[in-house]
Structure 1
Amino acid sequence: MRRIWQLRHSLATKLILAFLLVGLIGISLVALLVVVRTRSEFSRFLSERDRTALANALAEHYAATGSWQGLSQALDAQPGLIELRQNVVLVDANGAIINSLQESTATQTMQDILRFAGEPIVVNQQTVGYMLPHPMTVPNPELPPPSPEQDFLARVTWAATASASAAILLALLIGALLAQTLTRPIRALITATHKLADGTFDHRVTVQSHDEVGQLAQSFNQMSAKLARASQQRQQMTADLAHDIRTPLSILRSYTEGLKDQRFVGSPTIYNVLHEEVEHLQRLVEDLRVLSLADAGELVLNRRMIDPRAILERVGLAHIMQAEAQGIALTVEASEQLPSIDVDTDRMTQVLNNLVSNALRYASAGAISLGAQLRGDQVVITVQDTGSGIDAADLPFIFDRLYRADKARQRNASSTSGLGLAIAKAIVEAHAGTISVDSWVGSGTTFTISLPVANPHAQIRPKTT
């Protein structure tokens, strides 16, 4: 049904219907004129046939009597000729009016009659009279009467010319209306694209139809919204980067100026602070470099076949001490027989380390579980915690660069660049995988990573001891 609805509202359907309408109207006009002309010509044919029948009856009377005496009585005896006798005048071979076959006092001169071609009455190959229409219309004597063939061709030519002219005018009218209808939204799109090129991302076009042009308008509005969002994110990212860089630089400057002015003497504590701020700047620069490479499709991956469980156990082992110190239970729950995945182990470990670090950072107690299982031709890795969760309004933007869900997280994230989840998403997608998040406030958060099996047709590798 949806396909039928799309076809009904498509631009191609509208064009086809418009052309069909023009064709139907043209054909209808031609057919109408042909019918009218055919009826007229057929009426003429019947009239000529009837006149011929009357002429034959008159000839039979003359052949039988040798004169026109008793003509009216003879015709009255034939009911079929009563209607045919209307408006007919009988003249002899010399052009003199013998008798009007209907009551009439009309008189004509010899010259008038001779100018008009009547229906001859022939008896024994001799013309004994003429049957003329009455009342008589005398044509221009200077113009010879047209032949029946010429008259027929003239009528047909007129009908064809009239119908063609009407069809052309109608086609021009419909074409103009159709062109106006089609070009109006296109002109609006042209204006909108010019505004978009000038940096006006909030301009939208009105969607007036559901055909291809309407879909183009919808796509343009979606593109404008995404560009506006990207512009806003870029501005926010610039401001956040400036803040993230300014903070450690301010700390470094204050400490180095104090050491230079000898306001305080260098100590291991001061040197540790300076070292931590330098490391923070280094991480920020490195994260930006990784994102830049990922955006350009130039992120180098040193892939190798590895058991997914091995990566999870490595990550769990790296964070087990911190988890125990915070009173958090960190477990690895992965299937023992999983097919290998072809990944850059360092990059994938970086992704999982970031997810576990976030879980530890934003959870004061509870549990963190690392899991992996096979779903079709995908190995699904999950990082689940029972922390405070993420508000639903923040979930669509959780993988945006420098995005932090709430004030509490910003307060605890001074040592992070705010790019961790954006980098995780870029690395996973570089492996032809996907990453998603599900979270409920007060119930915890689950990050899900899906990676393709290295060889989906290979047998599951048995557990080794």
Structure 2
Amino acid sequence: MIKKYLIERCSWLILFIGLQLLTIFIAVIDPSITIRPILYIVFLSTVTLVVFAIVRYQKETAFYKQLRDSDDDPTDIKKGTSPFEKIVQERLDEQMKQYKNELSQHHIKLEQEKDELLSWIHEVKTPLTAMQLMIERVEDKKVKEQLKYEWLRMYLLLDQQLHQKRIPFMENDLYIEQTSLEPLIFQEIKALQSWCMRKGIGFDISLEIEEVLTDAKWLAFIIRQLLTNAIKYTESADISITSYREQQHTTLAIKDHGRGIDAKDLPRIFDHGFTSTTAHQDTASSGMGLYLVKNALKPLHIKISVQSNVGKGTTFTLTFPNKNEFVAITGM
């Protein structure tokens, strides 16, 4: 700040130095003027300037230091004292009010768009249900299988969009209870049955721990995304789902025998929109599923880890907090 202050006052300093040099020059060329008193006056003027500059530095930079160091609302900065500081602050206040109004308008618009999209998704689910009933009446098995697969793709995309809009507000929708894993997992497998049959995928389920403390609806969504991800990259192989106790925590593991994930991609698989670097031309992945999983896990205080080997498959592991930990974290 000192350097900036000197740069700001550079013209004044140059003017002062110029005046002092001019005074000395006149004393030198004019024999009637004694040089010694002039040098004394210049010295006193310089000392006075230095003291004055130190005092003014403290006073003039206080307002701008607040402005530089403030991470909060600039309108909370103490009022300026000089006319120029007041002009700056008035302009900041006006800009802040304008930005707040614009932000409020954008927020209202986004809320309206979100509500409209959620409403549209719910409306679309009605004809989807009707289509499902119509597909069941199709006699040609090959056509029926193809229609079921395409119907499932549409349903999963809509479901993903619905939960994507709900995740920012999911804490308002949580209901934590002891949730039975078996019916929840079997319900999700049944929903994906047509896709699994098409790809020759089976399931090997072994649940040593049958219940976990969580929100059943959001856990179902998380398992749905992980199963969808496993099925997408697996061909003619079983997917293993196991639950067990590890270090006083319940763990749920979903293991596939698909193409696996490259080691350099592992740190990025939960990033928004990330698909793959090894199969970048693959259009099957939207890069949203695992990103939504990561965001849905946070309010539930569930930890996720992944192990993968290229060509051998991938294992996603969910670690649930025990009851005491959950109460300590959430206060529920």
Q: TM-score, normalised by structure 2?
A: 0.47
Q: TM-score, normalised by structure 1?
A: 0.34
Query: Which of the two has higher C-alpha Rg?
Result: 1
Structure with the largest fraction of helix: 2
